[in-house]
Amino acid sequence: MRRGLGALAAVAALAVVTAFVGPRSTSSKPLPRAHLATKLGFSDTAETVMGTLVEPPSPRFLSRIRNGKMGGVVFLRNGWLTRGTAAAVTAELQRAACTRGEPLLIAVDQEGGMVRRLPWAPPTEAPAYMSSPSAAHAQASGTAAALKSVGIDVDFAPVVDTPSSSRNFLGSRAFSRSRSWNAQLARAFVTGLQTGGIAATAKHFPGLGLAGGNTDHGRIVIGAAAWKLRQGLLPFKSAIAAGVRLVMVSTALYPTLDPAAKPAAFSSAIINGVLRGQLGFEGVTVTDSLTAPAADRIPHTATRAMLAGSDLLIFGAESASERGYATLVHDASSSPRLHARLTQAAARIRALKAWLAGHDGPACTLP
């Protein structure tokens, strides 16, 4: 997993001629991805780990990018990203990444309502107040245009869970309490984002509609019968049929879907059995925050999630992201199984990056 001196020399040599080209630029020829992988010796481990920002990046953070220790960045915390700040920060991040020749995924939770990292950007309505599929599509289209204008390429939205009661913690983040209605709006929102070149994310698989609390605040066990949980999969099926590029897997426990009672992001039975095997999803699986209580208590958190089928790992704090990367590097050195999983996950993530580049997304290019 470590790059040798030859690979490091290649990085240094290419750094002076490699540049970040943002959305819609056609001035330079993209360096072929296969050539980059050979030339620079990219770390599959790095591709699977997202750094976390709640403020403009520090020199240490940018150094971590240049040294190939993350494949993406997620912006957390509402409000700090003005339009000008967002554009400047994403450009700075991509310039740092392109010293290695590989653009970052840059993601944000832009659901609308209470979860709206960019207060100046759509959705202007919370999901619960989107009155029709056409309204959801229009909100998503506006969101895509706003995100693309500042260099963000992944939206961790829409929430497609179906709450079982008005007391569910998701509140207005969910479209409604009707599975069939949510399926229609999920398809519309996903299509609106992705037609605009932004990768959508259906979350939180296999559903938090029956949760008794927020997984960010405690260990949540959803003990409903398997048949009842499977009813809640309808909106996920709709999003997958619409071509959603990512599915976020929750950190709640579902004992009737996995008798081992592992959080979903650590459950091969749920990820590979239900999501990929039964629903046919072929895109990128992304974890909900691995600093959530149920996840954080699991030893070798990043490794266990990766081995279970989670491709892209996100954390609630940058220090946890750094530890996650270090854990994967350490564990992969003695685990052929983990090494193979990292290769598989990185291939899916690079395919996502290629899809984004084909929709006027970021690319590292040679003049």
- Sheet of 29-30, strand order: 19-21, 363-366, 29-30
Q: Which residue among 288, 296, 311, 331 is the active-site one? A: 288
The residue type of 63 is: S
d(C-alpha 213, C-alpha 221), whole Å: 9
The interaxial angle of helices 336-357 and 318-332, nearest 10 deg, is: 130
d(C-alpha 55, C-alpha 358), whole Å: 29
Asked if 288 is an active-site residue, the reply is: yes
Six-digit token string for 357: 């580049």
Six-digit token string for 238: 């709709």
d(C-alpha 314, C-alpha 264), whole Å: 14
Do 95 and 104 touch, CB atoms closer than 8 A? no
Q: Based on the number of CB atoms within 10 Å of its own CB, is 277 exposed (0-12), middle (13-18) or buried (19 or more)?
A: exposed
d(C-alpha 140, C-alpha 134), whole Å: 10
Query: 202: part of which helix (H) or strand (E)?
Result: strand 201-205
Residues with Cβ < 8 Å from 8, sequence gap 6 or more? none
The 3-class secondary structure across 14-83, one letter per residue, is HHCCCEEECCCCCCCEECCHHHHHHHHCCCHHHHCEEEEECCCCCHHHHHHHHCCCCCEEEECCCCCCCH
Asked if 359 is an active-site residue, the reply is: no
Which positions are annotated as active-site residues?
217, 288
